[in-house]
Amino acid sequence: MSVEKPPTSSEKLQKVLAASGIGSRREMERWIEAGRIVVNGNKATLGDRVEPKDKISVDGRPLKRLEPKEKRSRVLIYNKPEGQITSQNDPEGRATVFDSLPKIPGERWVSVGRLDYNTSGLLIFTNDGELANALMHPSSNVEREYLCRIMGEVDDQMLKNLVGGVQLEDGVARFSHIDIAGGKGINRWFQVTLSEGKNREVRRLWESQGMMVSRLKRVRYANVVIPPILSEGKWMELDQKGITELYKQVDMRRKRERRLTPAELTQQQRQIDRLKKRGTSGRNK
C-alpha cells in the first residue's frame, strides 16, 4: 500500500527569486550559478527548493519575500530613444533605460527583452519576474513588431526569402509578416513582425539579403503598443485591464493581489492626463 506524501510548500529557488521582482527566472539561474545566492548560510545550487521559513540572501543582503497581499503586479511602458542601453549599469558610463524609471522600494524593474543602443521604441518593464520570463520565453511565441528603414533596393525575392526563412549563425530565422510602410527609392520603410527574440535579429535578417537597416523602432510587443501620447524617453504605467490582458497573452493567471488604493488610481490618471497635455502642446508648436 502506497503512503501519500504530505503536501509541500517548497518552490524552486529561481522561481522564488523571480517572484520577488529582482530579475527574470533565467537571470536568477545565472546568479545562482555565479554563487551570488545563499540559502540558510549555504551557497545555493541550481535545482534547490526553498520553503517560506528559509532565509535567502543575495550578494550578502537578506531577500525580503513579499506576501501576496503586500504586492501588486506593475507594468511600465517605456519609449526608448536611441543612445541608451538596456542594462542596469554600463562600464562606459552611457545612459541606461533604468535611469528614467521610477523607483519601487524593496523591488526591482525587470526588462522584458532588450533593444540595442541604436534601436528605439517600446520596452516593457515589470516587477513580476515570472511574467517577464514567460513573455521572453521562445515557447510563448510572443510577437514583436518593428518599423525599419532600409538602405538599398529591396526586391520581391528578398521579401520571399525573409518570410520563408534564412539560415543565420544561431539558427533559422524569419519574419512572419512584412508590409511596405512608406518611403521611396533606396530609403524605404517596412513594418515587420517576428516571434523570436534572437540578438539583433531584425538587423541580421536584412543583412542576410545585403541590406542595411538605417533606422529601427519597436512599436509592439505582444498586445502592447506604444501609445501616441508617449514621447521618447518617457514612461507610463499600464492599467489593470492592460496588465490582465498581458498575462493572458502567455496563458498565465494573475496572482491574487491587493487592489489599488484611491490615491494610486488618481496618480495613474494624473500621469495619463500629463502625457496627453504634453502631446497636445507639442503638436501645437
How many Å separate Cα 126 from the centre of its chain?
8
How many CB atoms are located within 10 Å of the residue 26 CB? 15
In the numeric block, which cell numbers belong to residue 174?
524569419
CA torsion angle for 86, 91, 95, 96 (degrees, to 10)? 20
Q: Are 282 and 276 a contacting pair, CB within 8 Å?
A: no
Handedness of CA 14, 18, 22, 23 (dihedral sign): positive
Q: Are 256 and 68 a contacting pair, CB within 8 Å?
A: yes
Q: Are 204 and 171 a contacting pair, CB within 8 Å?
A: no
- Of these residues, 59, 90, 99, 116, which one is catalytic? 116
Known catalytic residue at 156: no
Backbone angles phi, psi at 259, to 5 degrees: -75, 155
120-126 and 212-221: which strand pairing?
parallel
SS3 89: coil
Give the C-alpha separation, 186 to 69, whole Å: 56
Q: Are 131 and 181 a contacting pair, CB within 8 Å?
A: no
In the numeric block, which cell numbers belong to residue 194?
517576428
Catalytic center residues: 116
